[in-house]
Amino acid sequence: MLQALDYARRHQDRFLEELVALLGIPSVSTDSAYAEEVARAAAWLVDHLRGLGATGAHAAPTGGHPIVVAAHQAAPARPTILVYGHYDVQPADPLELWISPPFKPVIRDGAIYARGACDDKGQLFMWVKALEAYVKTGGLPPVNMKFIFEGEEECGSTHLPPYIQAHTDALAADVVCISDTALFAPDVPSITCGLRGMSYVEVTLTGPNRDLHSGVYGGAIENPINVLGQLIGGLHDADHRITIPGFYDDVRPLTAAERAEFAALPFDAAAWAAEVGVGHTRTEAGFTPLEGATARPTLDCNGIWGGYMGEGAKTVLPSTASAKISMRLVPDQDPQDIAQKTRAYFEAHAPPTMHVRLEEIHGAVPVLVSTESPAMAAAAHALEDVYGQRPFFTRIGGSIPVVADFKRLMGLDSVLMGFGLDTDAIHSPNEHFGIDRFRQGVESIIRFLAAYGSSS
């Protein structure tokens, strides 16, 4: 292991140059205009894994973007890990807010700037480089490693669950390892033990059969944008609780012990809110901001449109109004059930002048993973060695849909060892990943592989 650590330190600059090449490929999965680039990123990873002696490396075609799979066998008696990551990225817009172009990666102020630097190309690459560090120092990695890198995580992971289901033998492992989350704070090591789920819907209200003159009809024909605004406004009450009937029915209450763990975390809510330019946090009554951001369900309108949105003024009473709404879910809420309850809310509250259409865009099941397993112990041990303090187990407010799928389809738990920071601007302009955290990540993974390999 010491040789591997030394190798990783000596080759860090080249690792980063390679990462620059991968980040230069605009693998935006949600926009079909980039489909060839997504395929190019998959091919790049396949070549790279082959170059490290991985067997069976290939880009498996799906009805959408390919899934990159590969394996590196150490010894049959050793435990096997399945490394998951995603090589697709979010769209880069608004482009004008980037200081340097999103797909021309540059290193400045100790960080690498590019779309995907943190989410998730930079983080999945740490596992590939940990494999290299063992392979190139004459040894075998302490565990058998399998890799599955998805190209559709940012657009709903449509083809991944069926692929997993059809390949459970080839993917068989003892545990799934994922770096696609964040540290609790800089130099505060943490292992993610909870992810929120998701129910994502798009709702459209239709009133009159065409756009109307607001002078001729306004005052007697109801306006869908006005109504949609009221309905969305009514989704939260004065306590900032969500008003959809039955929304909280399946929420597993936080235990006193869990709440004590949240309270013990070094979290400064005022500073956290100030960093995004807001003076105060706003949380459901009875809960702390940290609980609100990670362990309680949410409802956010992500986009709302209708009528005239061009320059100047147009006096129109529009025919339709639409909104995209995401709800972050916690155990034991069910995405489909929540979508149905949301539909019922809109149908019950829309006036008879409106027709309601609600489309379910995608869902993800919330997860809490056990913190007691040999793999978790190995991860905690590795992080403690790198950071000099024991990691916290934390929940993250975001979602990684495949974690629940690995559990459901293969019975596998995941170890979520992420090295991002909330301030890395994932999904935002100027996404970046600190070079120090890339180094800490590679080191932690090398140590994790050693600790896990000798644990069973």
Residue ranges binding Mn ion (CB under 5 A)? 119-120, 180
Should residue 364 be labelled a site residue for ligand BES when binding is judged by CB under 6 A?
A: yes
Give whichever of 82 and 182 is closer to ligand BES, judged by the CB atom. 182
Q: Is 258 exposed, middle or buried (0-12, 13-18, 19+ CB in 10 A)?
A: middle
Choose from Mn ion, ligand BES, none: what does 399 bind? Cβ within 5-8 Å by kind: ligand BES
The values of phi and psi at residue 326, to 5°, are -110, 135
CB 119 within 8 A of CB 55: no
Choose from Mn ion, ligand BES, none: what does 288 bind? Cβ within 5-8 Å by kind: none
Give the active site residue among 88, 120, 154, 180: 88
CA torsion sign for 229, 235, 241, 242 is negative
Structural element, H or E, at residue 349: helix 335-349
Is residue 88 part of the annotated active site? The answer reads yes
Least separation in angstroms between residue 123's CB and Mn ion is 8
Should residue 182 be labelled a site residue for ligand BES when binding is judged by CB under 6 A?
A: yes
Length of the chain: 456
Give the active site residue among 132, 153, 405, 443: 153
Helix axes 435-453, 121-135, angle to 10 degrees: 50
The values of phi and psi at residue 130, to 5°, are -65, -40
Q: Which of residues 143-162 bind ligand BES (CB under 6 A)?
A: 153-154
Give whichever of 70 and 293 is closer to ligand BES, judged by the CB atom. 293
Give whichever of 142 and 197 is closer to ligand BES, judged by the CB atom. 197
Is residue 422 part of the annotated active site? The answer reads no
The window from 20-28, 57-65, 175-183, 314-322 that contacts ligand BES (CB under 6 A) reads 175-183
Residue 205's DSSP bridge partners are 321, 356
Q: Which of residues 87-126 bind ligand BES (CB under 6 A)?
A: 119-120
What's the rounded Cα separation, in Å, for the pair 169 and 158? 21
Choose from ligand BES, Mn ion, none: what does 112 bind? Cβ within 5-8 Å by kind: none
| Contacts of 269 by beta carbon, 8 Å cutoff, 6+ apart | 281, 288, 289, 290
Peptide bond before residue 120 is cis, with ω within 30 degrees of 0: yes
**One-letter amino acid identity for 292?**
G
Helix (H, G, I), strand (E, B) or coil at 372: coil
Least separation in angstroms between residue 344's CB and ligand BES is 23
Give whichever of 223 and 294 is closer to ligand BES, judged by the CB atom. 294
Give whichever of 144 and 440 is closer to ligand BES, judged by the CB atom. 440
Should residue 434 be labelled a site residue for ligand BES when binding is judged by CB under 6 A?
A: no
CB 452 within 8 A of CB 173: no
8, 49, 193, 198: which one binds ligand BES (CB under 6 A)? 198
Should residue 449 be labelled a site residue for ligand BES when binding is judged by CB under 6 A?
A: no
Choose from Mn ion, ligand BES, none: what does 198 bind? Cβ within 5-8 Å by kind: ligand BES
| Contacts of 307 by beta carbon, 8 Å cutoff, 6+ apart | 211, 225, 314, 316, 318, 321
Tell me the residue number closest to ligand BES, measured at CB: 398
Q: Which two tokens stand for residue 229?
A: 């605004």
Per CB under 6 A, residues contacting ligand BES are: 119-120, 153-154, 180-182, 198, 364, 396, 398-401
**Active site positions, annotated:** 88, 153
